[in-house]
Amino acid sequence: MIDPADLEHCAAAIRHGSRSFHTASKVLPRRLRDPALALYAFCRLADDAVDLRDDKVDAVLRLSERLDRVYAGRPRNAPADRAFAAVIDMFEMPRALPEALLEGLAWDAEGRRYDDLSALRAYSARVAAAVGAMMCVLMRERRYDVLARACDLGVAMQLTNIARDVAEDAFEGRLYLPTDWMEEAGLDPDAFLARPQSSPALRGLVARLLREADDLYHRAGVGVASLPADCRPGIFAARFIYAGIGGALRRGGTDPFAGRARTSGAQKLGWLGVSALKTGASAVMPRSALLHARPLDETSFLVEATAEGAGMARDWTDTLHATLADLKRMDAERLAALRRGASGAITAG
């Protein structure tokens, strides 16, 4: 069981770090809410450990060690690690899922850009769809089609976040918009990062990304209706609240430089009400054929690992190990450069 003190620490981290999920979690059943808070707190900790650190490579490598300890049953002596280890044990969480998140964070540490929508979906699969699959595991839901729709929801949420944060990311030197889209619109990625600013072309790209998210929200809704009945209100709420961020961005002319798109507390409460109605309707409405749509190519490895309970596929394992090896090489080169610089300074002195 999760230690109550550790759980309270996780709840506080979510309350301050992810208001949208915190709101949605209020209508989750207790059996799901507690492990979900532990899960999200660890994922949030991992994201912040990379995003807020100057030495992002070292942060990812440390997270890899922490994940090794969690799966070995020897978590680091920290509330989020202990709570996540308890969740891993209780629900037999496939290791492929948190390791997918880890690889996505490694891509952030590399400063990777995304050439096209497929590459961006692959990133979103790791940092968001993997969390959706983990939530299904907490619900004891491992049907292939339902997992596929959960991954759709995760990718949709991440595309919404990327659209909202274009300006903020650009000022930090980060770029997630597909570079082929930018070039088609007459925007040079390097020039945009050198001087981030709004333009009609950029606003058009943000609108295009939101349309991609909307298509996935539509597909995902069919999957939510197939979840255990007591879990549907919370997941519907998360779906509507995140989609609402896109709505707020549209009301601002899809201009990410006009201020961070936000949803109000009143709007969140309204979506909780809508979620209750959708839950009621889902009990009597016939299932849509969309439920059986194939997963996105970029999320299929998550679905297969979770639905079959077989852990990581060989090509996934190889990809992750190669990414971590690249990061270790980058870290070694950085340390060597620092030593050369220090040696040169001593010699010059």
**Residue 41 belongs to a domain:** no
Q: Is 283 exposed, middle or buried (0-12, 13-18, 19+ CB in 10 A)?
A: exposed
* Cα distance between residue 131 and residue 297, in whole Å: 17
The pTM score is 0.86
Res. 344: pLDDT tops 60: no
Q: Which of 108-117, 123-132, 141-150, 279-288 is predicted least confidently?
A: 279-288
> Which secondary structure element, helix H or strand E, spans residue 89, and what is its range?
helix 79-91
**Residue 307 belongs to a domain:** yes
**Residue 238 belongs to a domain:** yes
For the stretch 5-33, pLDDT in tens is 998 988 888 777 666 666 767 778 888 88
* Cα distance between residue 91 and residue 142, in whole Å: 12
Nearest partner of 48 among 3, 101, 84, judged by Cα:
101
CATH code of residue 234: 1.10.600.10
**Residue 13 belongs to a domain:** no
Q: Mean pLDDT across the stretch 164-184? A: 97
**Residue 86 belongs to a domain:** no
State the chain's mean pLDDT as an integer. Answer: 86
C-alpha dist (Å) from residue 52 to 12, 19, 46, 60, 186: 19, 18, 10, 12, 32
3-state secondary structure of 346: helix
**Residue 312 belongs to a domain:** yes
> Which secondary structure element, helix H or strand E, spans residue 304, and what is its range?
helix 300-308
* Cα distance between residue 155 and residue 311, in whole Å: 21
**Residue 129 belongs to a domain:** yes
DSSP annotation of 127 reads: I
CB 105, CB 60: distance < 8 Å: yes
Give the percent of the chain with pLDDT over 90: 57
List the domain range (segments joined by +) for residue 303. Answer: 93-348
Domain count along the chain: 1
Res. 208: pLDDT tops 60: yes
